[in-house]
Chains A and B, each alone.
Chain A
Amino acid sequence: MITLDINGKTHELDIADDMPLLYALRNQVGLNGAKYGCGLGQCGACTVLVNDKPVFSCLTPCGTLAGKSVRTVESLGSADQPGPLQKAFIDEQAAQCGYCIAGMIVRAQALLEANPHPDDETIRRHMAPNLCRCGTHVRILAAIKSVVAQGGKV
């Protein structure tokens, strides 16, 4: 049995050490936010926060998570009560197909938690691990910048 702390809740799961966190999140815990995009740490669609750091959940075995806190996009707010970044993404309509967006929001969350006033180049560099194929980058940056402009509190 493996105990995972996900979004502040403890989950006792009958899974093996080697299961990547992504599958545990989606299948054992039933969360949709983190997504399978490549399973290779190349696209960031699976990005979650582990001890406040953005990681690829597709390559993070559950056996490495003892005593660590896992946060997914679901912890940042809901459709009815979105958190600051989520609200910004809705206001900017920063999504086309939207498949990459949860990962983008989580990665941006990590940045703003560590640095509420990043400049443009810092934002671009920080977001680089996450891919968007639809070309929504312009809006994603606009959404992040709008949160920074309002003080960067997330």
Chain B
Amino acid sequence: MKSPTQNVNLSRRAFVINGALVMGFAMLPGIPRALADTEVDTLGTAILAPDLPGSLRATPYLDAWIRIDAKDGITVYTGKVELGTGVKTALLQIAAERLEVSPGLIRFLTADTALTPNEGYTAGSHTIVDSGTALFNAAAQVRQLLLESAARQWQTSIDSLTTREAVIYDAQGRSITYAQAVVGVQLHRFASTNSPFKPASSFTLIGKSLPRLDIPAKVSGGAAYVQDMRLPDMLHARVIRPPRRGSRLLEIDEAALNKLPGGVKLVRNGSYLAVVATDEWLAVKAMREGYATAHWTEGNPLPDSAHIHQLLTELPARRYPVSAKGNIAQPGPRTYKARVTKQYLMHGSIGPSCAVAWFKDGTLTVWTHTQGVYPLRAGIAEMVGLPVAQVRCIHAEGSGCYGHNGADDAAADAALIAMAIPGKPIRVQWMREQENLWEPYSSAMLAEVEAGLDDSGRLRDWKYELWSTPHNERIVNAGRLLPAWLLATPFTPAPSVPIAQPEGDGDRNAVPLYEIPNLKVDLNFVLTMPFRTSAMRSLGAHINVFAIESTVDELAARATVDPVQFRLHHLSDPRARAVVERVAAEFRWPQKATGPGSGIGFAFARYKNIMGYCAIAVQLHVQRQTGQVTIDRVVAAVDVGQIVSPDGLLNQIQGGIVQSASWTLYERILYDASGMHSFDWSGYPIMRFADLPQQVEVHMIDQPDLPFLGAAEIVQGPMAAALGNAINDATGKRLLNLPLARRGWQDALGS
């Protein structure tokens, strides 16, 4: 019995968040006036220049991005952060290309609320699109202004000027440095809608694989992460969390804790607990003592994992129509119906979250690996009761987060403890169990698809309904910070709001790119979260593409058409066709390896239907008696527009293929009434070297001069789907419930 849902009117396509009406524009091709993407939006930041490209629309002043002076040379700012995807290097390439200097001449600073533009979150594959586009234009315009300044000074034509390594030369051999030329320029001005054109054919940096700036330190023990920060008189903290959501603290032996070696101090506020010590190991031991002596109420019951998808259909939800076209006919003999599910997944960052905070002279500084320093700052300020201007959040790298993990909460922990112990830098490191138990998960999801062919074997009807909890519980207010729930006066999270299409939330990529005359796609946005969920790499695209591509394969079989041909019959976008055809050619589709249990599978998607294109083919073997899946070969083709760093792109695609294979084949959070059992890697095993695909080939189709499209999340869906299709080919069984290959799955196979 489904509970009543509210249908939301999306005709105005605007969202109200915290009382501020936020509207924005994604300047992606084909979407001239699309909607605010609350995943990356700047939250309360006014859009000052709607006609400017990329993040310039919110931060139009050129000197917000680039400063030049004699002392520091060229400094370039980005509001985005390095998450381990290599974007810091890629953005540097873009800026250097357009300033026409070598990268070594640029001091490049990433998100810092005191210094850099507010570019919201580094998420949604938007970094190159937003920040790259902004820098691409701003840097070129700054250089142009410097040339104009030199031309004015020398009373000569700008066309006779050249630049090299931050020096401007004229035909007569006169020269002036950028730092000298900038004196005659006012960079505190809006960027222009027009930037000097430079054809891709003359790029010297964009499109080249610049070695990443951060890797040498990472292979040699250089300080590279927030975990490596060491400040004078820094204290080490560990948090003590309740056994489960809803547990309240009854008692803890505070006196005993405060006597422990290492100058241990207990920080306590309601049910919020942390211990601080002068030495990290002593903090860990104090934490263990704290866990042992704390007594809590029982807390909220855990959901029944066996019926979680049923539960999702029963919880309060808002129903959003996602897309509708034509009229869906009654199901007929050529209709395929399926129920597709996925379980809760965790980000599983290899380094649990960490933050450093220091409350000194009235200012609270937090070093954090958050994806969004500005929203975090606002949330922390609200939580600790400081004016926003007195809180500074500086991004320092953490381990890969793949979305909204514990980073913001750990920053909030550090902030709370720093306020409790003013004047001392505080370093908080979450334990593995704490990250696994408390990070926001990726929602369990249910999708019901019903799709049919017309008499000529083409897709005719497509009905798709989804249930999911939110994928974007970002720091809109203090109540979105986990530690804030534990305080004596707790904060309440702001109401959940889905990210609108075309970006999408749980419904990301729920609308197939294929030509289908009659289509109805709906999202049930479940408001009560059995487990706290938020954004994880590709959001709903992982399961939606899996569901779509499994259905397409089934219908292709019913139409007795090869799966690749069937897809091509329904794709008119030449770039989509190009990646499909490239994979088919390189893979020699439909050639299949010999041996028992061999199978091949194909999948395609365009991320969010507006970003990068990706096609994947997989060859694997299934050992029918043991269920072991060996991925022999993966062939992928991607088109992300103008490629900034080919090797950076390759790295992301290779990594995404492996990560998605792990999610799809093995991963699920284990829980039952007795508790959450995935508190460490033994309860949440992920792919290791032994299970790795034997061979991964990536073909990148560069599109010089075309806009950047975003690359970081484009493989999660297609890889999952290609695996499902290959297992079906190998075993004759259509598996629709992720994960696909946990021990015992082969019992469903039969002989």
Chain A interface (Cβ within 8 Å of chain B)? 15, 18-20, 23, 26-27, 30-33, 35-40, 42-43, 45, 72-74, 76-80, 82, 86, 89-90, 93, 95-102, 105, 123-125, 127-128, 130-139, 141
Whole-angstrom distance between the Cβ of A109 and the nearest chain B Cβ? 12
The answer to whether B689 and A137 have CB atoms under 8 Å apart is yes
The answer to whether B400 and A73 have CB atoms under 8 Å apart is no
Q: In the complex, which of the residues B211, B222, B281, B654 contacts A90, with contact meaning CB atoms closer than 8 Å?
A: B211
The answer to whether A97 and B432 have CB atoms under 8 Å apart is no
Note all chain B residues with C-beta closer than 8 A to A74. Answer: 220-221
CB contact under 8 A between A38 and B681, given known A26-B280, A73-B221, A105-B219: yes
Q: In the complex, which of the residues B83, B657, B681 contacts A131, with contact meaning CB atoms closer than 8 Å?
A: B681
CB contact under 8 A between A73 and B219, given known A27-B280, A99-B400: yes
Q: In the complex, which of the residues B212, B225, B680 contacts A95, with contact meaning CB atoms closer than 8 Å?
A: B212
Note all chain B residues with C-beta closer than 8 A to A23. Answer: 279-281, 284
Sampled A-B contacts (8; CB under 8 Å): A73-B221, A96-B652, A133-B659, A134-B400, A134-B655, A135-B655, A138-B696, A141-B692
CB contact under 8 A between A96 and B220, given known A23-B280, A40-B681, A124-B692: no
The answer to whether B350 and A19 have CB atoms under 8 Å apart is no
The answer to whether B680 and A98 have CB atoms under 8 Å apart is no
Whole-angstrom distance between the Cβ of A2 and the nearest chain B Cβ? 12
CA distance A15 to B687 in the complex (A): 37
Q: In the complex, which of the residues B222, B651, B690 contacts A32, with contact meaning CB atoms closer than 8 Å?
A: B222
The answer to whether A136 and B351 have CB atoms under 8 Å apart is no
Whole-angstrom distance between the Cβ of B687 and the nearest chain A Cβ? 8
Note all chain B residues with C-beta closer than 8 A to A99. Answer: 84, 218, 225, 350-351, 398-400
Q: In the complex, which of the residues A20, A79, A132 contacts B220, with contact meaning CB atoms closer than 8 Å?
A: A79
The answer to whether A86 and B219 have CB atoms under 8 Å apart is yes
CA distance A61 to B655 in the complex (A): 34
Whole-angstrom distance between the Cβ of A3 and the nearest chain B Cβ? 18
Closest-by-CB residue of B relative to A129 is B688
Closest-by-CB residue of A relative to B210 is A93
The answer to whether B399 and A36 have CB atoms under 8 Å apart is no
Most central of A20, A38, A123, A131 by chain B CB within 10 Å: A38
Give the top 8 A-B pairs by smallest Cβ distance, nearest first.
Answer: A97-B84, A135-B658, A33-B221, A98-B218, A135-B655, A99-B399, A97-B400, A79-B216
Closest-by-CB residue of A relative to B659 is A135
Most central of A31, A125, A131, A135 by chain B CB within 10 Å: A135
CA distance A134 to B686 in the complex (A): 11
At the interface, yes or no: B339 with Cβ under 8 Å from chain A? Answer: no
Most central of B215, B228, B279, B431 by chain A CB within 10 Å: B215
* Chain B residues touching A, range: 35 or more
Whole-angstrom distance between the Cβ of B165 and the nearest chain A Cβ? 23
The answer to whether A128 and B281 have CB atoms under 8 Å apart is no
The answer to whether A90 and B689 have CB atoms under 8 Å apart is no
Q: In the complex, which of the residues A80, A82, A134 contacts B659, with contact meaning CB atoms closer than 8 Å?
A: A134
The answer to whether B351 and A79 have CB atoms under 8 Å apart is no
Whole-angstrom distance between the Cβ of B711 and the nearest chain A Cβ? 13
Whole-angstrom distance between the Cβ of A129 and the nearest chain B Cβ? 8
Note all chain B residues with C-beta closer than 8 A to A133. Answer: 348-350, 399-400, 402, 659, 686
CB contact under 8 A between A102 and B221, given known A30-B230, A96-B84: yes
At the interface, yes or no: B289 with Cβ under 8 Å from chain A? Answer: no
CA distance A43 to B84 in the complex (A): 18
Most central of A72, A105, A133, A137 by chain B CB within 10 Å: A133
At the interface, yes or no: B477 with Cβ under 8 Å from chain A? Answer: no
CA distance A105 to B216 in the complex (A): 13
Note all chain B residues with C-beta closer than 8 A to A40. Answer: 432, 680-682
At the interface, yes or no: B664 with Cβ under 8 Å from chain A? Answer: no
The answer to whether A93 and B351 have CB atoms under 8 Å apart is no
CA distance A79 to B655 in the complex (A): 24
The answer to whether A98 and B224 have CB atoms under 8 Å apart is yes
The answer to whether B212 and A35 have CB atoms under 8 Å apart is no
Whole-angstrom distance between the Cβ of B428 and the nearest chain A Cβ? 12
Contact string against A for B residues 460-490, beta-carbon threshold 8 Å, 1 for contact and 0 otherwise? 0000000000000000000000000000000
Q: In the complex, which of the residues A19, A98, A132, A137 contacts B215, with contact meaning CB atoms closer than 8 Å?
A: A98
Note all chain A residues with C-beta closer than 8 A to B221. Answer: 31-33, 72-74, 102
CA distance A77 to B221 in the complex (A): 9
Closest-by-CB residue of B relative to A31 is B221
At the interface, yes or no: B223 with Cβ under 8 Å from chain A? Answer: yes
Interface residues of B in 279-310 (CB under 8 A from A): 279-281, 284
Note all chain B residues with C-beta closer than 8 A to A27. Answer: 236, 279-281
Note all chain B residues with C-beta closer than 8 A to A93. Answer: 209, 211-212, 215, 647, 651
Q: In the complex, which of the residues B216, B280, B657 contacts A82, with contact meaning CB atoms closer than 8 Å?
A: B216
Contact string against A for B residues 625-668, beta-carbon threshold 8 Å, 1 for contact and 0 otherwise? 00000000000000000000001000110111111001000000
Most central of B85, B222, B399 by chain A CB within 10 Å: B399
Whole-angstrom distance between the Cβ of B402 and the nearest chain A Cβ? 8
CA distance A109 to B429 in the complex (A): 29
At the interface, yes or no: B86 with Cβ under 8 Å from chain A? Answer: yes
Whole-angstrom distance between the Cβ of A49 and the nearest chain B Cβ? 14
The answer to whether A131 and B224 have CB atoms under 8 Å apart is no
The answer to whether A128 and B692 have CB atoms under 8 Å apart is no
Note all chain A residues with C-beta closer than 8 A to B284. Answer: 23, 39
CA distance A133 to B435 in the complex (A): 14
The answer to whether A131 and B86 have CB atoms under 8 Å apart is no
Note all chain B residues with C-beta closer than 8 A to A136. Answer: 651, 654-655, 658
Note all chain B residues with C-beta closer than 8 A to A105. Answer: 219
The answer to whether B224 and A32 have CB atoms under 8 Å apart is yes
CA distance A83 to B261 in the complex (A): 41
CA distance A86 to B217 in the complex (A): 10
Given contacts A37-B399, A135-B659, list 17 more A-B pairs with CB under 8 A.
A27-B281, A37-B351, A42-B432, A42-B680, A79-B222, A82-B216, A86-B219, A90-B215, A93-B215, A97-B84, A98-B215, A98-B219, A131-B350, A133-B348, A138-B693, A139-B654, A141-B689
Most central of B219, B284, B662, B689 by chain A CB within 10 Å: B219
Q: In the complex, which of the residues A72, A90, A127 contacts B219, with contact meaning CB atoms closer than 8 Å?
A: A90
Note all chain A residues with C-beta closer than 8 A to B686. Answer: 131, 133
Q: In the complex, which of the residues B654, B682, B690 contacts A138, with contact meaning CB atoms closer than 8 Å?
A: B654
CA distance A136 to B431 in the complex (A): 24
CA distance A139 to B397 in the complex (A): 21
The answer to whether A137 and B692 have CB atoms under 8 Å apart is yes
CA distance A37 to B433 in the complex (A): 11
At the interface, yes or no: B53 with Cβ under 8 Å from chain A? Answer: no
Note all chain A residues with C-beta closer than 8 A to B218. Answer: 95, 98-99, 101-102
Closest-by-CB residue of A relative to B225 is A99
The answer to whether B429 and A36 have CB atoms under 8 Å apart is yes
CA distance A133 to B465 in the complex (A): 31
Most central of B228, B351, B687 by chain A CB within 10 Å: B351
The answer to whether A96 and B85 have CB atoms under 8 Å apart is yes
Closest-by-CB residue of A relative to B653 is A135
Interface residues of B in 191-248 (CB under 8 A from A): 209, 211-212, 214-225, 227-228, 230, 236
Closest-by-CB residue of B relative to A96 is B84
Note all chain A residues with C-beta closer than 8 A to B280. Answer: 23, 26-27
Q: In the complex, which of the residues B219, B279, B652, B693 contacts A101, with contact meaning CB atoms closer than 8 Å?
A: B219
CA distance A19 to B692 in the complex (A): 35
CA distance A77 to B217 in the complex (A): 11
Whole-angstrom distance between the Cβ of B583 and the nearest chain A Cβ? 18
Note all chain B residues with C-beta closer than 8 A to A79. Answer: 216-217, 219-220, 222
At the interface, yes or no: B352 with Cβ under 8 Å from chain A? Answer: yes
Whole-angstrom distance between the Cβ of A63 and the nearest chain B Cβ? 13
CA distance A125 to B352 in the complex (A): 26
CA distance A74 to B218 in the complex (A): 10
Note all chain B residues with C-beta closer than 8 A to A139. Answer: 651, 654
Note all chain B residues with C-beta closer than 8 A to A32. Answer: 221-225, 228
